[in-house]
Structures are given as structure tokens and as C-alpha cells.
Amino acid sequence: MIRTDVLVIGGGPAGLAAAISAHKNGANVVLIEREARLGGILKQCIHDGFGLVRFKEKLSGPEYAERFIDEFKALGIKTLLLTFVTSVEETDNGFKAMVVNRDGVEEIESKSLILATGCRERTSKQVFIHGTRPSGVFTAGTAQHFTNLLGQLPTKKCVILGSGDIGLIMARRLTLEGAEVLGVYEVKPTPSGLTRNIHQCLNDFGIPLHLSHTVTRVFGEDRLTAVEVAKVDDKMQPIPGTEHMIECDALILSVGLIPENELAESLGVEIDPKTKGPRCDASLMTSVPGIFSCGNALHVNDLVDYVSESGETAGKFAAQFVGTDRETVSLDAGEKLLYIVPQTLDTLADNSEIVVYFRSKDVYDDSVFRITVDGKTVFEKKYAFLRPPEMEKITVDFSNCGLSKSSKIKAEIEVTGK
Amino acid sequence: MREIVCITCPRGCTMQVTGSDNDIKVTGNFCKRGEDFAKAELINPMRTICSTVRTTYSDAPVLPCRVSADIPKDRIFDVMREINKAVVDKPLNRGDVIISNVLGLGVDVISTSDLLLEI
């Protein structure tokens, strides 16, 4: 039996930042990672662009992760690698996790728990692709794992479905390694990935992006031989007669990420249907006292810098957690918002510097983002454009709004342009 | 007029660029880096490349690497060929040089991970 103050589950950027922050705030910390090495998905994100906000440098994924790993190791924080959490339950003193690794089964008791479990990719089964079941259908992350960690090129000639950032990054990566990327097909009328990635990953290499298109069927016995693509209507339904076949040996899917929250759900943590992550207050504590969430398990971030930041917040408050009462009030997202984090505020806490993340539901030009408390504006910011792929971060002072549990707090976007 | 999207940071400003040579006007950029990028795009577009290099270690068959500074966009595939010829046979720290002054471009190909020290 291991006893600790804070148990961090997940050794990616969120978990590393959370563990470092909890340690610096005086807590005894144990971190559990199911893989052999720390760093999470950044291990295979060998492209650059990480750390611009935090380090003002353009780092590759491994470089960004290893800066945290170096610090983490220097602090001597206890780590269990190749260790899987099979269950967690609440006890009178906090939490008890059952873990399994090469040494067998072990129990870990902690006062607070940080879930930094990241997210998973949506798979072909979740986007209803019809046809045979040949090999050669990969998620972008799997293709990235083969290429960047195993050094095996998974395709010579492929089609990419979905314009998520990992798909765009892989379009460039596979092209650099000599594969032919025939096109990126996106069912929505706007790209899912960051604008800069459309330019530096597709346009730079002459890879066409087909918006309002989808893959309707796959063909092939042992290995994929072709896919059928079609134009879609404004309800994203394939338009009959627009189908055509494309010969290729792989279909790579970049169709979205879903926060991984099985453990959270097993503990009765309330999940926000919009973020698919736990509903949290500004300390990133979930609906269950003592359980904190951060990184991509909380909501899918666009930049790792914000993942680390949320880890630090969760780590600090998890270290300080003593089970004081809280009185939460909802922060509601208006209809033009895809989501907002945090989803609640603790009226008894210091609410003078609340970091709020949000995404818009659609592409909006000239607009105003506004937060009101009981109809009174407490925060307003103008945006020349808002795009769903780009997460926005603001800091709001709620300390003089007379927050109570019956306050009506609402965040909305008002489109002021045409 | 030409429209250029800045790739310097995730903000991705769409910029309008007019003029040529020493008289280039840039609008729509949020910061100075956008202007610099737009001008470079017209005169001599530069890019970073990140890739992997083969190793002799079976537990880590490839090591992540990148160029130490931007290279001309039209030399990307030339540099990729050099990267794919290289083989790392000893543990490197991140930042260590794998290929120095690649193709005489004045930049090195460097390791971006301590991976080989860990296995």
C-alpha cells in the first residue's frame, strides 16, 4: 500500500505539470503512467510549434515534454511507469486506486486525485464508414505512431478524412517521407484544424483540401485498395451522383478527439456534454470534491501550453485540498459557444482572477464575447474573428459581482458584423 | 495584391500584401513577425522541417530531429534526403548535432529528444 497526498493519473503534459505544481505547493505526489516513458502523445508529435506561449520558442513535441520531464525528475517525484489504474474508489480519507504493473497489483491511497488521462481519437466505427474491413484504415495518431516512433511508413498513397490538426500534420509528414497524399476530405464546410496548418501542411505541398466532402465507402480484401468519396449537402449527407473512387492503400482519419473519462465516470463525476470532460470549477475540481481534471481530459485544447497551464492549476488546488465547503454556481454557455471552461464557480473562493477558456460554435467575424452576472456585464471583449478550431483564453474578475449560488452567470457571443 | 496566412504562431493572421522588392506593404498582421514573414514569403520563403533519423537501437528505431534554423522552402526535400541517409549509432542529448551544416545551408540537423539516453 502506497499513501500520498496527491495521486496524478497520466504522465503526459497535463499530468507532468500537475505533479510538478502539486509538489511545489508542498504535497507528496505519486504519478502513474501506463506507457514505458513519460511525455504522453508529445513523444510522437515530432513537429514544431509547441511552447510559443510559454517559452516563446518553437519547440517540437519531445523537446517541450522533456523540459517538463527534466524538472519532474529533478524534483524526485515518485513515478510508476508501465502501470495501469484498474479502478478508483472514494474512501473516508480520500481515494483508493488499484493499479497493476509488472510487480503485480497495488493499492494507492491519496487525499486528492488528478485525472490527466488525455483524450482518444474518434475511430472509423464512430464515423460510420461502410464497406469491407481491410487493413490500411488508420487514425492519424496511429499513422503518427508508426511513422515517428516505429520508423515505419504506413502508406505509399493515401486519402485523409477530416481536417483536424493531427491529420494535417500527418499529411505533411507522410509527404516529407515520400508518400503521396491525394487529398484531405472534410465533411464540414470549414476546416477543423488551425489555419496555419492548412497553409504550412497542405498548401505548401500542393495537397488539395476538399470541404463538404466525405468518404462513403472503403474497398479492399486484405489491404485497402480504394475509397469512395462524395460531396455532402448542408445537412452533411452524401449527395447521390457525386461519388467517385480514389485508388489508395490507406485511409487516415482525423475526425476528432474525445476526452478520456472512464475513471471519472466510474467515480460519479459529472460530465459536460459539450466538452465531454468533467464539469469543473475554477480550481479545476470536478463535481466530486477532491477530484481534479486537467489537460485534454478536461476539454480538447488547441495548444499544449494551455494543457500545461491547466495542469498547474489542478496541481496547486489538489495540493491545497482539505475538503472545505464550496458553493457552486453555473457558468452557462450561450448558444453561439461550443463550450466554456470552467463550467462552475465556487462563490466562496477567491474569484478575482478566473481563467476562462472557450470556443465558438461557428466561424464569426466581428463579434463581442460577453459575460453577464444577473444581466449585468462583467466582462466584454471584441474579436475580429472567432473560429471553432482556435480556443480563446481570457481572465475575468468576478470578485465584485456579488456572486451567490442563485446568480445567473452567462457567457455569450454577439455577432456585430454582417 | 496577394493574401498570405502567417504561420509564425497559431493566431494565423490573414495578411494582404502589395508591392514588391523593397516596397512591400503588409496589412492585416497582428504583430511585427507577420510583416517579416510576409516579406520573406515574397522574397525567399523559409521553413522549418522536423523529421526522424534512423538509429541502430531496436527499442528506438528512429530519433526525432529538426533543422536548427529555417531553411529555404525549395530545399525541403533535399534536406529530407540527407536526413534519411543518416544513422545515429550513439546516444545523443537533445540539441546535439546529427548533421552539421547540412548541404552547406548554414544550419544543422539536431536531435530533439533524449530518448536514446533513456532506453
pLDDT in tens, B63-116: 999 999 999 999 999 999 999 999 999 999 999 999 999 999 999 999 999 999
Q: Is the CB of residue B80 less than 8 Å away from at least one CB of chain A?
A: yes
Mean pLDDT of chain A: 95
CA separation, residue A402 to residues A116, A325, A334, A351, A399 (Å): 33, 18, 21, 11, 7
ipTM passes above 0.90: yes
Please state the pTM of the whole predicted model.
0.94
Residues 6+ apart with CB under 8 A from A275: A259, A298, A299, A300, A339, A341, A343
pLDDT at residue B105, as a whole number = 98
Could you give the angle at which helices A61-74 and A304-320 cross, rounded to 10 degrees? Answer: 20
Residue A328 has pLDDT above 90, yes or no: yes
Residues of A with Cβ-Cβ distance to B115 under 8 angstroms: 37, 62
CA separation, residue A243 to residues A158, A160, A161 (Å): 17, 16, 15
Residues 6+ apart with CB under 8 A from A311: A13, A14, A15, A16, A17, A18, A21, A114, A116, A294, A295
pLDDT at residue A111, as a whole number = 97
**CA–CA separation, A386 vs A376, rounded Å?**
23
Phi, psi of A246 (to 5 degrees): -130, 120
Enter the C-alpha cell of residue A340. Answer: 466554456
Q: Is the CB of residue A37 less than 8 Å away from at least one CB of chain B?
A: yes
3-state helix, strand, coil split of chain B in percent (to 5) is: 25, 35, 40
pLDDT in tens, B19-56: 877 788 899 888 888 998 888 888 899 999 999 999 99
From chain A residues 48-87, the ones with a CB under 8 A of any chain B CB are: 48-49, 52, 58-63, 66
Choose the mutation target among B7, B14, B56, B62 for the interface with A, i.e. most A CBs under 10 Å.
B7
Asked if A354 and A396 count as a contact pair (C-beta separation under 8 A), the reply is: yes
Cβ of A199 within 8 Å of Cβ of B5? The answer is: yes
Residues of A with Cβ-Cβ distance to B76 under 8 angstroms: 176
**From the list A66, A177, A194, which residue is nearest B113 (CB)?**
A66
pLDDT in tens, A83-142: 999 999 999 999 999 999 999 999 999 999 999 999 999 987 776 777 778 999 999 999
Paired with A394 in beta bridges are A356
Q: Is the CB of residue A320 less than 8 Å away from at least one CB of chain B?
A: no
